[in-house]
């Protein structure tokens, strides 16, 4: 099994499972799916599976596709709440089809997760828990925005649930599909969890430093909504109240907040933490025998922190 | 097992499974759940199970709770799209917590369905398919509203998917939990499907004829959005274009549409159809031996069409 073949199997399943005679659901689902995306989560499933000796990608691909659909559903719903108009370099589902259909498209993708996972009894509790965590993380984030209450601790709780939990589940599910021992499953889970945290920290840095064309999504949305994640790093764990003040003072509050953060050491500190997490993740892979897949898992950890989009 | 005990077990599971340290999700979920609702779907599961000899309601209650959570999640999301402010006699989740948290609460309830169904491998494909149908039905409905294209055929497709599919799954799952033969499962499925259609037709009639206090939800929402479901009955299968004309002409379009429909034979024709479906449903129960549960299934079919809220 080459990784490319495995990932093609995942793509095929996602296209197949979103077939519907309800044209809007099929069109909107395939619009967001065919725009690509980094596919880090299903890649994690397939690489963990392969690194532990798995070779049957027809068997392993449906849970990998299900995990990507959980992420995709949450992205479609997130763009409703954030008024995101660009996603993966294309107009968002929300921008093209409007709120009602975007909401239903997200629901449709969530229901397709059940369908794909139905035959995998012992694994779907892992995915269920990670999906609950994802929704909880999104909710903690919305609550922190509303209450303008971002601390490092709250930021950590948010990214742990909204991102790291699903990365962890992806790696664990890949290992379990290969019938790995519990200690191996746990090590892979720690690998997934660590690169999940790193991935989100880098995402939030890029949201501050990159432009929309580079990101392929509306940049600065998180900050625009007062989400100053990275701001948490420049306040040493205290409430990022300064952010709100600037918003009131300045003609272009977005630029002003960006400048404050870019001038301070918040960004470099956050990037350093992400690198540390990626290194820790790679250390967890010591339990694996040498293989092409292990090599790619190491590369994946590095890519997560070195990427520019 | 008394039905009351079984239904109490379902309630307990729904409260237990919506426990979360993310206060908004727990509060909003329990707000909508504790408001009651008719609980027709889980009752269907438990009665079908019991009528086929099932006695272990600890085993049968989680899938019944999962089915009610699918319905509840869809109701919470529906109130976002419809701007519904009253639900089950209380302010809707949307009205209290706002759109962002309502969207996430619906997602949370959907994810709890996975969690509850995870151990029931052979049943969760039934629920997955019904949930897909529900989302497809909601989407067909939104599309028909947008295009002002309601015919009897489209109305039938909508209610079949958005309501009857889940009723059918509820009855099938109840029968399968009791390890019933395939022919019995199918007969119960037809029973569920028929009362599902009847239930939705009566819901749409009540939306026209009852007031909000009686319904416990914002009445006339469906019509207000141009949904003239029942209007399909007064146009003999042709497009209900007349509805849109009235909206433009009249000072209070809602009242005018209501009057048109109430004066014609649309309502009585739709109610007659609902009664016919309930009778057909009861006939499918002939495969069951006599029992208290069978008696209650017959009562349920009658209640569905005779209710005033």
- Min mean pLDDT across A121-125, A183-187, B16-20, B295-299 is at A121-125
Q: Which residues contact A36 (CB under 8 A, 6 or more apart)?
A: A88, A89
Q: Name the DSSP letter for residue A90.
A: E
Residue-wise pLDDT tens digits, A137-164: 999 999 988 888 878 889 899 999 999 9
Residue B50 is predicted with a pLDDT of: 97
Higher pLDDT among residues B299 and A250, named by residue:
B299
Under 8 Å CB-to-CB from B16, ≥6 apart: which residues? none
Chain centroid to CA B270: 17
3-state secondary structure of A117: helix
Q: What is the pLDDT of residue B40?
A: 97
- Residue B114: which of A74, A77, A124 has the nearest Cβ? A124
Mutation to test the B interface, candidates A62, A75, A132, most B Cβ within 10 Å: A132
Question: Which of helix, strand or coil describes residue A290?
Answer: coil
Is residue B85 very low, low, confident or very high in pLDDT (cuts 50, 70, 90)?
Answer: confident
Ranked by mean pLDDT, the top range of B9-18, B143-152, B254-263 is B9-18
In chain A, residues with a C-beta closer than 8 Å to the C-beta of B131 are 111, 114
The residue of chain A nearest to residue B121, with distances taken between CA atoms, is: A121
Model pLDDT for residues B154-210, shown as the tens digit of each residue: 999 999 999 999 999 999 999 999 999 999 999 999 999 999 999 999 998 888 887
User: Given A22, A24, A132, which is nearest B111 (Cβ)?
Assistant: A132
Q: Which residue has the higher pLDDT, A269 or B284?
A: B284
Please give the Cα distance from B231 to A121 (Å, whole number).
45
Compute, in degrees rounded to 10, the torsion defined by CA atoms A229, A233, A234, A238: 90
- In the predicted structure, residue A22 carries a pLDDT above the cut 50: yes
CA dihedral A283, A286, A289, A294 (to 10 degrees): -10
Q: Is the pLDDT of residue B87 over 90?
A: no
Asked whether the CA dihedral B274, B41, A18, A161 is positive or negative, the reply is: positive
pLDDT tops 90 at residue B41? yes
Domains of chain A: 3-306 (1.10.600.10)
Decide if A127 and B112 are in contact by the 8 Å CB cutoff.
no
Q: Which of A114, A145, A160 to mutate to test the interface with B (most CBs of B within 10 A)?
A: A114
In terms of Cβ atoms closer than 10 Å to its own Cβ (0-12, 13-18, 19+), residue A23 is exposed
Confidence of residue A281 (pLDDT cuts 50, 70, 90): very high
B118 vs A contacts (CB less than 8 Å): 121, 124-125, 128
Q: For residue B257, what pLDDT band results from cuts at 50, 70 and 90?
A: low
Residues A22, B80: C-beta atoms closer than 8 Å: no
Of A21, A128, A139, the CB nearest to B118: A128
For every residue of B63-128, DSSP letters joined together read: HHHHHHHHHHHHHHHHHHHHT--EETTEE-HHHHH-HHHHHHHHHHHHHHHHHHHTT-HHHHHHHH
Cβ neighbour number for residue A149 with a 10 Å cutoff? 12
Cβ contact (<8 Å) for A100 and B131? Answer: no
| DSSP characters over A153-196 | HHHHHHHIIIIIHHHHHHHHHHHHHTT--HHHHHHHHHHHHHHH
Q: Which of A98-102, A186-190, B129-133, B217-221 has the lowest mean pLDDT?
A: B217-221
- In this predicted structure, the answer to whether residue B281 has a pLDDT above a threshold of 50 is yes
pLDDT greater than 80 at residue B1: no
Which pLDDT score, from 0 to 100, does residue A246 have? 35
pLDDT band at residue B142 under the 50/70/90 scheme: very high
Asked if A77 lies within 8 A of B121 by C-beta distance, the reply is no
User: How many whole angstroms separate alpha carbon B198 and alpha carbon B275?
Assistant: 7
pLDDT tier for residue A84 given thresholds of 50, 70 and 90: confident
Chain A contact residues (CB < 8 Å to B): 20-22, 24-25, 73-74, 77, 80-81, 99-101, 103-104, 106-108, 110-115, 117-119, 121, 124-125, 127-129, 131-132, 134-136, 138-140, 142-143
């Amino acid at each position: 099994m080459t990784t490319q073949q495995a990932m093609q199997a995942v793509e095929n399943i996602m296209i197949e499972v979103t077939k519907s005679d309800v044209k809007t659901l099929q069109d909107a689902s395939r619009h967001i799916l065919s725009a690509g995306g980094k596919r880090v989560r299903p890649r994690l499933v397939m690489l963990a599976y392969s690194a532990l000796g798995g070779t049957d990608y027809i068997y392993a691909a449906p849970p990998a596709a299900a995990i990507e659909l959980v992420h995709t559903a949450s992205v479609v719903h997130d763009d409703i709440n954030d008024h995101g108009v660009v996603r993966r370099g294309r107009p968002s589902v929300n921008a093209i089809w409007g709120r009602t259909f975007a909401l239903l498209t997200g629901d449709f993708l969530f229901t397709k997760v059940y369908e794909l996972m139905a035959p995998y009894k012992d694994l779907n509790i892992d995915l269920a828990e990670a999906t609950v965590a994802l929704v909880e993380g999104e909710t903690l984030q919305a609550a922190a925005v509303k209450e303008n209450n971002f601390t490092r601790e709250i930021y950590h709780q948010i990214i742990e649930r909204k991102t790291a939990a699903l990365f962890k589940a992806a790696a664990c599910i890949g290992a379990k599909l290969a019938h790995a021992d519990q200690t191996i499953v746990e090590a892979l889970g720690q690998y997934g969890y660590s690169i999940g945290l790193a991935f989100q920290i880098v995402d939030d840095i890029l949201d501050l430093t990159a432009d929309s064309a580079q990101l392929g999504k509306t940049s600065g949305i998180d900050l625009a909504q007062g989400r100053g994640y990275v701001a948490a790093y420049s306040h040493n764990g205290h409430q990022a109240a300064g952010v709100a003040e600037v918003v009131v003072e300045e003609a272009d509050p977005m630029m002003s907040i960006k400048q404050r953060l870019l001038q301070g050491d918040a960004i470099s500190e956050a990037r350093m933490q992400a690198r540390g997490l990626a290194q820790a993740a790679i250390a967890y892979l010591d339990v694996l025998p040498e293989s092409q897949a292990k090599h790619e898992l190491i590369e994946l950890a590095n890519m997560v922190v070195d990427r520019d989009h």
